[in-house]
Structure 1
């Protein structure tokens, strides 16, 4: 994952693509921050690919919120820049699951964890995060898990 991002960074430098370059530099900085945090906690290695995906997902979500705020404030130029950054970040994220695929994944995670009540929600979310990092919005998945566990 890091190699892919670094290759894209170098290509953006060659192409003189300013927005792409600045976005990829921000991504690299976020990954390096996570590496430093991991090392300071006694880990030998830096961020794993799953952590990199989580970082990218978080960055994408932050930019969506910023774009919405800029649009509400009438700053369409800034909103457009945020959307361009989202496009660059999402190149490195796996395809997002649709609603049916999310529902099937939740059902499978409930079966795999043996969850029977809402108290087991943490187990289910742990399995989903392990298997589907970067492929679903866990803020939106939480209520789906809750509904399915309450229905049991």
Structure 2
């Protein structure tokens, strides 16, 4: 069983929608940050969230969100900045992502595991494809988050 399969589950409740459930203790600071941002009153701040396949757009969103921090954590071993929603997503409000300092391990594990969980769900719903088609297959699915 892959690591992500232990901590992140996905279900497709309807065409074009993926429900993602994240086990918070598996990614302590990052999953808690995402839970705070993507539930309750904060959820309204973002609106619907979609997978955006355009790497350039993801880079722009990441730069916009991280710009206020400059080089604040640059070069500090084990330090990372977590963006929520992550740069691979696009959301209705187009507000800059919320950024929170976190530990590098949790942040990198979470990002990698979330990507693989989404990838697995999309491929299981749409069938195998060539690697170059993958980004298009993941495009524009709505993602709804829940936390345990």
Where on the TM-score scale, by shorter chain, does this alignment land: which range? 0.3 to 0.5
User: Scaled by the length of structure 2, what TM-score is found?
Assistant: 0.32
Larger Rg: 1
Give 1 or 2: higher helix fraction.
Answer: 1
Give 1 or 2: higher strand fraction.
Answer: 2
User: Scaled by the length of structure 1, what TM-score is found?
Assistant: 0.32
Whose RCO is larger (CA < 8 A, sep 6+)? 2
